Amino acid sequence: MNTVHTDAQITEVDAAPTEAGATATQAGATRLARPDTPTDPGTTVSYVYALSRAGTALDTRAPQLTGLDNGPLRTVTCGELSALVSSVPADAYSEEGMRARLEDLSELAAVARTHHAVIEAAYATTTVLPMRLATVYLDDARVRSMLHERRADFGELLTWLQGHVELGVKVYADPREAAATPPAAAPPAPTPAPAPGSASAPVRSGRAYLQQRRAQRRRHRDAYRAAGAVAGAVPDRVSALARARAAHRPQQGDLASGPGENISNEAYLVPAERTGQFHQALTGLADDVPGVHVEITGPWAPYSFATPPTAGAGT
């Protein structure tokens, strides 16, 4: 069955493991070298959330947004590019500070949620290039230098992403549901009742139990095979609607929100006006497959596509 949370050949894009909507430690986002940061009390550094074209609505929207540590946002501009930035404590966002935060999952999740919320608010106003969690520079001058040095790459990416959104597609295998669904088959022929005192009754009972267990294990294996087949059919169904595709590692634990085990976790770059067609293309894909579920998430800012396609990838 399809669960909806909110639409050619496809360019294959290398991406990191997480799915865009799960946290803001986002897949495939542009990662820049984090310079060493000072840790003197009171010192701040420039935290970069996203990039966009200069002169867009983001320039006026930024002061209305709140970033990490409740700091106001601003744009730092160089030529045709702007970076969405806020000031954060240097000691908290240094290498050591972030390492400590990695050990506190609740604090890390709070940082990730704020990072993600800022990007989504910016994305609502214009095309943005999301940055990875904790992309930090010593000051705004360093941010401008980064924009200048990579202006060609960033400009090309923003053009490529213009007018597109990211949609996630996850396929789940639920062996318990599959095992609980009896296969369509004729009922077994009745077995004559054993004579009183006969030992055949427990033998037959034991044999029936073993047969039932084997059938359950077979349906368990079949659920994973069926989920794999469903996952393999997704790219073909949406190939004419998506500009690019990114495959992430399947999610586990709290990130895997669907029933059963996540066996496929992909993201697609889709023209914003074709999201409805994307959903329709996947409607009913797993309706008649016991123990297999398809989940569509988004639309999101294009986290998974904030790096250029791999050289030599097919388009």
Structurally, how many domains does the chain consist of? 1
> Is residue 287 included in any domain, yes or no?
no
Question: Would you say residue 112 lies in a domain?
Answer: yes
Tokens of 227: 């989920």
Task: Answer yes or no: is 26 within a domain.
Answer: yes
Q: Is 261 helix (H, G, I), strand (E, B) or coil?
A: strand
Q: Cis bond leading into 183, ω under 30°?
A: no
Cα gap 242→264, rounded to integer Å: 17
The verdict on residue 314 lying in a domain is no
Q: How many alpha carbons fall within 13 Å on the CB side of residue 218?
A: 8
**pLDDT tens-digit readout, 11-45:** 444 443 344 433 333 333 333 334 444 455 578 99
Question: Would you say residue 120 lies in a domain?
Answer: yes
Task: Confirm if 302 and 130 have CB atoms less than 8 A apart.
Answer: yes
pLDDT of residue 12: 43
- Asked if residue 51 is part of any domain, the answer here is yes
Give the pLDDT mean for 1-19.
Answer: 41
Residue 50 CA to residue 46 CA, distance in Å, equals: 12
The answer to whether position 99 is within a domain reads: yes
Band of the pLDDT at 306, cuts 50, 70, 90? confident
Q: Which domain holds residue 32?
A: 21-163
Lowest mean pLDDT among 23-37, 134-148, 207-221, 231-245: 23-37
- Give residue 203's identity as a one-letter amino acid code: V
Helix (H) or strand (E) holding 225: helix 200-238
Higher pLDDT among residues 179 and 107, named by residue? 107
**pLDDT per position as a tens digit, 67-126:** 998 999 999 999 999 999 999 999 888 888 888 877 888 888 899 999 999 999 999 999
Mean pLDDT of 297-312: 75
The residues facing 244 across adjacent strands are 11, 269
| Mean per-residue pLDDT of the chain | 78
